[in-house]
């Protein structure tokens, strides 16, 4: 019995030792690990670095693709700006007309088409005549400026000015050369109008498409961000259109009263150029003064006075009222964005630089709000401003 017990105890101990000495699967004693692919990375550190490299390569590829199709992306963004204008008009009509949104959008489109037809039929002859006269007027004033410069000892040739002017007008990036010329401009305008109409008619359809591209947990924040962007865009475009109308009508009325030539054309050009902050006002002022000099120094002084009055009214009355209800952009940031977008994309980029900058600012502000609201986040500027300092 004792012997048997000792033997059974020894056998149990041997079995326990044998069990303890068996190699654990996956350990170093188990031999090489077999995987499904010979290119699999076993080391977790190497796997993490490979994953990081893949992310960077994907980001660089997406940036390269965005640069390659940047002109098309800008056209789509222009269509979104147009859709915001149409949507803003439909919302404004909704305050007085209890009808469906689709009908209100159609009414806005019909009103825009009717205005275009009226402008072409009733004012088209006068505008075309003044537009044909404008280049001759500017050329005559350029010749007079050359003669004045020569009289003051400056050696300036007319061919030099033409060369500088052609270089200035053609100083756009290689991206926009595919859309130069009248045909390319008309095609771009057609695409902007058609895409903008589709977006304005069914905005939720495209918003849901963007939401589906994001993780489910991030969709509520994305919806809030998109709503803020759309609200800011509508307000920005409403203020911009109001400024265009006021500047164009004031310029036309004052120039007509003071007897400056080409008042209708200059009023329309001033209104259209008012869509471009800073740069548009300068161009319209130069055109007004040059046209005024074609009749004499007195008319040029009148034209400069009209320009000064309109821009002062816009800067001290309209812009403060508009900036209170929209995103307030620093003038230096707007000029920098216009410079970059104008060089890369020409006139289209110049028109859309301000709305694009506004959307970027809204996105960054929203991201800052989410970062401040995250658990364990450091207090943001607004929280620090409300925190008392000192005893």
Least confident stretch, 17-21, 44-48, 219-223, 267-271 = 17-21
Model pTM greater than 0.75? no
Number of other residues whose CB lies within 10 A of the CB of residue 296: 10
Residue 31 φ/ψ region, left for φ over 0, alpha for ψ in the -120 to 50 degree band, beta for the rest: left
The mean of the pLDDT values for the chain is 75
Phi/psi zone of residue 43: left (φ > 0), alpha (ψ -120 to 50 degrees), beta? Answer: beta
| pLDDT tens for each residue of 356-369 | 988 998 888 888 88
171-182 confidence digits (pLDDT tens): 433 333 433 445
User: Is residue 160 scored above 60 in pLDDT?
Assistant: no
- The tokens for 285 are 């002022």
Whole-number pLDDT of residue 385: 43
Given this model, what pLDDT does residue 379 score?
53
State residue 107's pLDDT score: 92
User: What is residue 133's predicted lDDT score, i.e. its pLDDT?
Assistant: 65
Question: What is the predicted pLDDT for the residue at 149?
Answer: 67
At residue 341 the predicted structure's pLDDT band, cuts being 50, 70 and 90, is: confident
Q: How far is CA 27 from CA 19, 31, 36, 363, in A?
A: 15, 8, 18, 50
Residue 161 pLDDT level (bands cut at 50, 70, 90): low
Three-state DSSP at 371 gives: helix
Supply the pLDDT for residue 175: 36
CA neighbor of 250 nearest in space, from 316, 306, 288 = 306
Structure tokens at 370: 């989410």
Contact (CB, 8 A) for 299 and 259:
yes
In this prediction, residue 338 carries a pLDDT of 83
For residues 240-265, one letter each, b for 16 or more C-beta atoms within 10 angstroms of the residue's C-beta and e for the rest, the string is bbebbebbbebbbebbeebebbbbbb
Q: Tens of pLDDT along 22-66?
A: 444 444 444 454 555 566 777 778 888 888 888 899 989 988 888
pLDDT at 9 over 50: no
Rounded Cα–Cα distance for residues 224 and 28 (Å): 53
| Per-residue pLDDT tens digits for 186-197 | 788 888 889 999
Confidence of residue 16 (pLDDT cuts 50, 70, 90): very low
Task: pLDDT band for 279, please (50, 70, 90 cuts).
Answer: confident
How confident is the model over 107-156, as pLDDT tens digits?
Answer: 999 998 888 887 777 665 666 665 666 666 666 766 766 676 667 666 65
């Amino acid at each position: 019995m004792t012997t048997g017990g000792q033997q059974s105890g020894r056998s149990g101990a041997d079995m326990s030792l044998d069990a303890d000495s068996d190699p654990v699967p996956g350990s170093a004693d188990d031999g090489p690990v077999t995987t499904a692919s010979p290119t699999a990375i076993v080391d977790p550190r190497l796997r993490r670095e490979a994953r990081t490299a893949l992310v960077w390569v994907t980001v660089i590829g997406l940036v390269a693709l965005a640069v390659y199709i940047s002109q098309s992306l800008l056209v789509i963004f222009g269509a979104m700006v147009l859709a915001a204008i149409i949507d803003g008009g439909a919302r404004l009509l909704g305050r007085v007309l209890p009808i469906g949104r689709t009908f209100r959008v159609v009414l806005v489109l019909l009103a825009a088409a009717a205005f275009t037809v009226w402008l072409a039929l009733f004012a088209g002859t006068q505008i075309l005549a003044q537009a044909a006269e404008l280049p001759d007027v500017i050329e005559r004033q350029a010749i007079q400026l050359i003669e004045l410069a020569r009289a003051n000892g400056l050696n300036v040739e007319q061919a030099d000015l033409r060369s500088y002017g052609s270089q200035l007008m053609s100083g756009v990036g290689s991206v926009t050369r595919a859309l130069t010329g009248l045909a390319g401009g008309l095609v771009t305008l057609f695409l902007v109008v058609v895409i903008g109409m589709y977006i304005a008619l069914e905005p939720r359809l495209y918003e849901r498409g963007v939401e589906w591209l994001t993780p489910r947990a991030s969709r509520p924040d994305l919806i809030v961000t998109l709503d803020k962007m759309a609200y800011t865009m509508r307000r920005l475009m409403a203020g911009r259109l109001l400024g265009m109308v006021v500047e164009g009508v004031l310029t036309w009325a004052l120039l007509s009263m003071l007897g400056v030539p080409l008042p209708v054309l200059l009023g329309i050009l001033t209104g259209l150029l008012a869509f471009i902050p800073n740069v548009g006002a300068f161009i319209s002022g130069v055109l007004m003064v040059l046209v005024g000099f074609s009749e004499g120094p007195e008319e040029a002084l009148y034209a400069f006075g009209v320009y000064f009055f309109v821009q002062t009214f816009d800067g001290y009355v309209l812009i403060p009222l508009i900036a209170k209800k929209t995103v307030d952009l620093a003038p230096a940031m707007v000029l920098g964005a216009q410079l970059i977008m104008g060089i890369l994309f020409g006139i289209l980029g110049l028109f859309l630089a301000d709305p694009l900058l506004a959307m970027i600012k809204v996105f960054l502000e929203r991201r800052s709000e989410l970062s401040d609201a995250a658990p364990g986040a450091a207090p943001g500027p607004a929280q620090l401003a409300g925190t008392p300092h000192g005893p």
